[in-house]
Amino acid sequence: MASRFLFFVVRRGVNALVTIIIMIALIFMIIHLVAPSPTDMARLYVGSHFNLQQLVQIAHRLGFDQPLYVQFYNYVVGFFQGNFGTDTIYGIPEILVIQEYFPVTIDMVLIGTFLGVGLGIFTGAIAASNRNTAPDYGIKALYLGTWAAPPFLVGVVLQLILAYDLGLLPTTGVADPILLHPAVVTGLPLVDSILAQNWVYLYSYIQHLILPALTIGLISFGSITRLTRATMVDALDKDYVKLAYMKGLPRRKVIWGTAFRNAIIPIITLLAITFAFSVGGAVVVEDVFAYHGIGFFAVTAAYDLDYPAILAITIIVGASVIVANFIADILYGVMDPRVRLT
Amino acid sequence: MSDGAQKWLERFRLFRGRHKSSSGAVTEAEAPLGESSGLNFIMGYVRRDKIALAGTIGIAIFVMWSVIQGILEQLSGYLNDTTLAYILLPSNPFAFNFKLVLAPPSLANFPVGLMGYDATGRSILSRILYAAPKDALAAILVVTSAIVIGMLLGITAGYIGGWADEVLMRVTDAFLAFPLILLAIALALVLGNGYQVVLVALVVIWWPTYARFFRAQALSLKNRGYVEASRLSGLSSFRIIIRHIFPNSIDPIVAIATLDFGNVVLTYSVLAFLGIGAEVGSPEWGSMSASGLQYVPHVWWFALFPSIAIMAVVVCFSLLGDRIQDLVGGRISY
């Protein structure tokens, strides 16, 4: 059993690695379709304020005059060493820019995903145990509304009500701008401020985090609700639930203790998809809340035609989604021993 | 369960039996053809279900309006006659009126001012109606192209298996891992901005889900009795795929595709909101909401009504898609 599990992990790991390399190849292909010649590539990286001779020199310095397979090899090796080229706007290595923006998004998306999953599982279970009654329809209306609404609408409505009208939370930004960022240890501001025991920054950071994370949670909880409701409805018809009733357990215990625990296992597969969806949604949410994460940076980079940045962001976010998928696969194998590990 | 419901359930079993049983030929004779064929069955069910009916009516209105308005817009381009494009609209969606800048919704000059006016005094209602064909065209083109591409690759991978499967699925995984919006931004960036580019980007991000789906279908179908029988009788792989695998895997796709029409409208509007694919001056629901947001909270109608248009379309598609999924998946809840 143990060796089979190890084989499963290794196989999935190799698959994930191959997928990442194919992804890099795709991005590599896209960028070389746009800029077929070395000087075109150089122009992409440094802008158009250089003459041909200078461009040739720059292309040579950045290695664009090498054969394509050498460049591709360097690109892949560079990726695993954390080297994504130089940012065309800031003129510093891309990885530094991304290190600045990505952790903020990771904090937000992870918390938003957990909010969404928690809300989805809870509402799904309630809907299933009150099938075809008012709570069921109410929950359906709620998730259809937030699911079908464009993410920016959800964000703006929350911003209007909670920040502008009630004044409970700050409207935009990552933290109070007068506060100093705590020393970087892990990169995640949430963890860093706790490590540095900078409670003022932590308080301000969490205050600013609530609205974007809540928006992410609201736009992503619908699919979890649907799946939880479906699996709960199936589980509630099973014999072991009837047995639990016959043993004289109260309804509440049967629903939350017996049916619920068996019904949430398939949700794990949805976790990675929800994460990927949330990262995509983060682009819009960060735009609405002027939240300076990777999505905000991606949109700015798109407007500035900062190709290396947008390609690096796409690869890094894609790779993190693949890693999330990999973790979800393994978790599923651990949680449900009946799953065939292939 | 009422008698009527019982009858429908029986019909439904018949419908499933015809498509899913291992000996297709036998049950084919049992099921009266035409009466319970896929589409008729779904439409019959939809007529009885109020929620699905509401969704269907909404979709019908959206699609019919888009077709008529879209044809008028194209014609006006060919005939070089701009008035033709506005003939059905309450007012000219491009006409500035600086007396009405950001004027709130009112019943005066009905129905032009029903949804208020934007920052240059253009009627928001007219602009929403003018932009509808773009969303409809995007939804239809993207979903059908994604289905065709996904079908070709997915069925090939599932039916042939082995190395072809391994290679195709890794490529599919790579595409699936890209967050939709980021990949669309990257593609729009490298291919240049514009409506067609956004459609291409949407197809690129949409086909992998269908490839996965058709692969799963092909895998489950390829060892069925009737497929083996036709293989033994010497039918080529190509003909088996055309005659057996494809027709039998299309039913579940209908539900997913219906939901996806809405999802494409949503994603398209998000891209437009971010300024990708929106052409200057041409109204678009997402970009209208984006420009309206600058005036929130005092001017709520500018951002809200375009967003509500998006939401209404997506809700209609989800209502119908949900019901079809229940039907095809065998979960009818009366």
CA angle A294, A144, A221 (to 5 degrees): 45
CA gyration radius, chain A: 24
* DSSP assigned state of B84: G
Question: Is B280 strand, coil or helix?
Answer: coil
Please answer yes or no on whether B173 and A22 come within 8 Å at the CB atom.
yes
B143 touches chain A (CB under 8 A): no
The nearest alpha carbon in chain A to B173 belongs to A19
- The pLDDT-based confidence of B5 (bands split at 50, 70, 90) is low
pLDDT at B333: 39
Please answer yes or no on whether A325 and B171 come within 8 Å at the CB atom.
no
Within 10 angstroms of residue B7's Cβ, the number of other Cβ atoms is 10
Contact residues, chain A, for B177 at CB < 8 Å: 19-20, 23, 276, 318-319, 321-322, 325
CATH number listed for the domain at residues A98-305: 1.10.3720.10
Within 10 angstroms of residue A70's Cβ, the number of other Cβ atoms is 10
Residues A21 and A76: beta-carbon distance below 8 Å: yes
pLDDT at A1: 56
d(CA B200, CA B188): 9
Within 10 angstroms of residue B298's Cβ, the number of other Cβ atoms is 8
d(CA B235, CA B218): 17
**B79: region left, alpha or beta (phi > 0 left; psi from -120 to 50 alpha):** alpha
Please answer yes or no on whether A276 and B269 come within 8 Å at the CB atom.
no
The nearest CA of chain B is from the CA of A199 a distance in Å of 32
Question: Phi and psi dihedrals of A132, rounded to 5?
Answer: 60, 35
Question: Phi and psi dihedrals of A86, rounded to 5?
Answer: -105, 135
**Per-residue tokens: B4:** 């009527």
The nearest CA of chain A is from the CA of B262 a distance in Å of 8
The residue ranking higher by pLDDT, A265 or B38, is: A265
The nearest CA of chain B is from the CA of A2 a distance in Å of 25
Could you tell me the pTM of the whole model? Answer: 0.84
pLDDT at A316: 84
Residues B15 and B43: beta-carbon distance below 8 Å: no
pLDDT at B20: 42
The nearest alpha carbon in chain A to B334 belongs to A132
pLDDT at A84: 76
**Per-residue tokens: A164:** 């502008």
Residue A231 amino acid letter? T
pLDDT at B35: 45
| A318-331 per-position pLDDT tens digit | 888 888 888 887 87
- CA-closest candidate to residue A288, choices B24, B151, B274, B326: B274
Q: Which of B179, B290, B297 lies nearest to residue A280, judging by beta carbons? A: B179
pLDDT at A218: 92
- The pLDDT-based confidence of B9 (bands split at 50, 70, 90) is low
Q: Which of A131, A149, A310 lies nearest to residue B186, judging by beta carbons? A: A310
Q: Which of B180, B262, B296 lies nearest to residue A156, judging by beta carbons? A: B296
d(CA B56, CA A89): 49
Residues B144 and A286: beta-carbon distance below 8 Å: no
Q: A-contacting residues of B 290-319, CB under 8 Å?
A: 290, 293, 296-297, 300, 303-304, 307, 310-311, 314-315, 318-319
The nearest alpha carbon in chain B to A274 belongs to B179
Per-residue pLDDT of chain A (342 residues; tens, 9 = 90+): 567 778 888 888 888 888 888 888 888 887 787 777 787 777 777 766 778 888 888 888 777 788 888 888 888 888 888 777 777 777 778 888 888 888 888 889 989 998 999 999 989 989 988 888 899 889 988 988 888 888 888 888 888 888 888 888 887 777 777 777 777 777 777 888 888 888 888 888 888 899 999 999 998 888 889 888 888 888 888 888 888 888 888 888 888 888 888 777 778 778 877 887 888 888 889 888 888 888 888 888 877 777 778 778 888 888 888 888 888 878 777 776 665 554
Residues B190 and A31: beta-carbon distance below 8 Å: yes
* DSSP assigned state of B278: P
Within 10 angstroms of residue B94's Cβ, the number of other Cβ atoms is 16
**Per-residue tokens: B38:** 């896929």
d(CA B223, CA B221): 6
pLDDT at B24: 38
| Domain ranges, ordered by start, for chain A | 98-305
Rounded alpha-carbon distances, angstroms, from residue B261 to B198, B229, B298, B313: 15, 37, 33, 9
| A186-235 per-position pLDDT tens digit | 777 788 888 888 888 888 888 889 999 999 999 888 888 988 888 888 88
Residue B113 amino acid letter? G
Residues B157 and B211: beta-carbon distance below 8 Å: yes
